[in-house]
Homo-oligomer: A and B are copies of this chain.
Amino acid sequence: MRATMIHGTRDIRVEDRPEPEIRLAGDAVVRVTAACVCGSDLWPYRGVRATEEPHPIGHEFVGVVEAVGDDVTAVKVGDFVVAPWAISCGECPPCRHGVQVACEHRAAWGGSDEQGLPVDGGQGERVRVPLANGTLVPVAGVTDPDEALTKSLLTLSDVMGTGHHAAVAAQVGPGRSVVIVGDGAVGLCAVLAAKRLGAERIIAMSRHEDRAAIARQFGATDVVAERGQEAAEKVRSILGGLLADSVLECVGTKESMEQAFACTRPGGSLGFVGVPAGGAELPIGTMFSKNISVGGGAASTREYLPELLADVLSGAINPGLVFDSVMPLEDAAEAYRAMDERRATKVMLVPAGAQR
C-alpha cells in the first residue's frame, strides 16, 4: 500500500509500505478514505522535534473497517469509522474517567503499540488499529459520505474535539463571554464549540480575513486583530470594560499564553489546548492573585466523539469548513508545504480510489 513517511526535516515521502494485517485479537484494519495534516505534524516537519529515523506519520483519519480480530466487538467489517488522534483501550481508569489521552495501554499512530508492534500512520491507504474496541467510533447509517460530510467527520478525529475540549475546560456556557486565541483549525473549531455550548459573545482573534470569515460563520460575534496587551484592551472595550469569562488558548506559544491570560477576568477560566512550545508557561502568581483557573491539555477526542458526531450528522454543526484544501495522498509533501507556508489552514488527503 501507499503511505506517508517522514524521513527528516522537510522530508515527506509517499512510499510503498507493507499491507497492514490483524496482528492481535483487538486489532482492526481500516481502509482510509480521508486523512489530514495536523498543525502538530509540522513540528517534526520543521525540525522543531527531531525525527530520529524514518517512520509513518499522520494521526487523523476516517475510513471503512476491512478486517477485525477475534476480540473486536465495537466495530464490524464494512463500518465507516472515525479514528481519534489518540489510541485508547476504553477500559483502564483514565479511559473510564474520560481521559483517554492518558490511557494506560496507549499506542501511537506511526509508532508502536504496547506489544512493540509497529502501528501505521494515518496518512496512508490502510491502517492497523490496535485496541479497536476502545479507539474506533462507527458512524451509524453512513457508508460512503460525500466530501462535505467526510471533512466534518474527519475533524472529529482531532481539531473539533480539541476545540470543544478548550471550551469545556474554560467553562463556556450560556451567559459567558468567550475569547479564542488562535485562528488555526483548532481555534476555529473552538469558536464553533463555544457557539454550540451557548455562549453569546464570542471574540475570535485573527488577522487573516479568510480565517476570520470562517470564525464569523462559526459564530464569532467579534474579531480582534490586535495582539498582546492591545488585544486585551480591545476585548475590554468590546465587553463594556470587562475582560472575558472564558479564554480558549489554541496555539501553545509563550506569546499566545500571555495574551490569553491578559484577556481573562479575575475569577475567569482559561482552557489551553495548544501543545506547550516555545517557553509557554503558567504564571502562578497571576493565577493566585486573580483566581484564574486553568484546565484543558491534550484533548480526549474519543470521549467527545459521540455527542459531536450526533451534531455533525444532524447538520447542527459543520466543522469541515476548516478544510480549505483537498489533495491526493500522493501529494502529501505539497500538503505539508502548503500548511507550513500558511497557504492552507488545513489540508485533507485522499488516497487513490477512495474518492466517492
Contact = CB atoms under 8 A, between A and B. Distances in A.
Interface in A97-129: 97-99, 101-102
A54 interface: no
Contacts of A267: 94, 97-99, 102
Contacts of A280: 284
Nearest to A295: B293
A101 B291 CA distance: 9
Nearest to A99: B267
A275 B297 contact: no
Copies of this chain in its oligomeric complex: 2
B289 A94 contact: no
B102 A291 contact: yes
A288 B297 contact: yes
Given A99-B267, A267-B102, A294 B295 contact: yes
B293 A298 contact: no
Interface in A277-321: 280-282, 284-285, 287-298, 300
Contacts of A300: 291
A242 interface: yes
A294 B101 CA distance: 18
A281 B266 CA distance: 20
Contacts of A98: 267
Given A265-B97, A266-B94, A102 B289 contact: yes
Given A282-B284, A288-B276, A99 B266 contact: yes
Given A97-B267, A241-B93, A266-B94, A169 B293 contact: yes
A45 interface: no
B275 A288 contact: yes
A153 B295 CA distance: 34
A278 B291 CA distance: 20
A222 to B, nearest CB: 19
28 contacts: A93-B242, A93-B266, A94-B266, A97-B265, A97-B266, A97-B267, A99-B267, A101-B266, A101-B291, A102-B267, A102-B290, A169-B293, A272-B288, A275-B288, A276-B284, A276-B285, A281-B281, A281-B284, A282-B284, A287-B297, A288-B296, A289-B297, A291-B295, A291-B296, A291-B297, A291-B298, A292-B297, A294-B294
